[in-house]
Structure 1
């Protein structure tokens, strides 16, 4: 069986950085980062995600507390420190969300809107920058099929910056929809790419919403 659980010893001593919120070109990595995303919370009977790097170390987690705030999800690092908060935009037409640094409730960094076009369109969502620094950041398009775990994030120059793919075992057997790969190219912060996964789950997931309300 393919390993999806973390390297517990390494996770216990890891001192993970608090990621800066991304604009294209902001990441320091020189090669693609391959993450394993598990559609399962570390909390018993909780909804969420658990994310590991290529060495099996825990890097991100999302836990949905039933008594938590309605209409928001917090992406945390392995130690439980908040990196990004996703909140549903109130009083908006269609499916519309805002992304904030940490647990801030003001000055959102990005707005994400579900594509409302034709049924067979490949476009899933559009990500646009907010605030005074918006002009220095790129917009992003998410295309493909999240239900098939086959989609990608593109910048406004059509460069692919992140990809969601089905994960195979060492024997070449394709695993289920709850375990998949997130491949993040240099130039995009991995926490931002994971925020896109959370939003796609909210928009197109079949197992219930992480965001309530």
Structure 2
């Protein structure tokens, strides 16, 4: 069996069924989430807690940097993106508006269902529903807005791009290949994030994309 990433996946499989796996410390989990170079992550749409619903993200060194643990619930209405130690970095909530659904997200864990103050919102635009596109509006602290677009690619629902409103590529995800060229399952993605982009925000958008397509 091909490993998703070095040691952590195997360790999780051998972990006791009711205890949290013991992970090695990761210096990147507490560092800034923006770097000056392009970075590649491995996104496994599986939680390491009993390999339940969720997501585990590895950096280029095979260390866990982000995780989502939904346990036995799939497509939850509330999802928390955490670092390796369990600190909540983003909280994402699903809201229903008429027959449309939208997702809102905010830093840390201070978001609730009644507030309209959030860091970003994601919803499908009417004209792009058939195409499978969705538009994302990022609300900044200073009141400025920056629009992103998440577009599925022809390679399958696991492949998608995140671009700025002007079309500039911000991040791209596609099925990961092993070092020998073997294509891994649709739940294992290689995520490339451009330089000077907030990794945590990108992971929030990747999470919403997974919720939209019932893969998380």
- Tell me the TM-score normalized by structure 2: 0.79
Which of 155, 158, 166 is the aligned partner of 2:167? Answer: 158
Structure 1 residue 57: deviation in Å?
0.4
Distance in 1, Cα, partners of 2:123 & 2:31: 26
In the alignment, structure 1 segments of 5+ residues that lack a partner are 21-26
* Residue among 94, 99, 104 paired with 1:98: 104
2:123 match: secondary structure? strand
User: Which fold has the larger relative contact order, with Cα–Cα distance below 8 Å and residues 6 or more apart in sequence?
Assistant: 1
**Structure 2 partner of 1:143:** 151
What is the CA distance between 1:2 and its match in structure 2?
Answer: 4.2
Judge conservation of contact 1:147–1:204 (CA < 8 Å) in 2: no
1:92-142: per-residue Cα shift (whole Å, max 9, x none)? 541211011111115211011023435663x5211113376231x411011
Instruction: Work out whether 1:32 is the aligned partner of 2:38.
Output: yes
Q: How many residue pairs were aligned? A: 196
Uncovered stretches (5+) of structure 2, i.e. residues with no partner? 9-22
User: Which of 100, 108, 112 is the aligned partner of 2:118?
Assistant: 108
Tell me, what secondary structure is at the counterpart of 2:133?
strand
In the TM superposition, 1:185-196 aligns within 5 A as 185-196=194-205
Distance 1:65 1:185, change over 3 A: same
Which of residues 189, 192, 213 is equivalent to 1:204?
213
- CA 1:18/1:111 → structure 2, altered by over 3 Å: closer, same or farther? farther
The TM-score normalised by the length of structure 1 is 0.80
Give 1:14 deviation, angstroms: 2.2
Instruction: Extract structure 1 runs of 4+ deviating beyond 6 A.
Output: none
CA RMSD of aligned residues (A): 2.7
| 2:61 aligns with one of 55, 58, 81 | 55
CA contact (8 A) 1:142 1:152 kept: yes
CA distance in 1, matches of 2:173, 2:72: 28
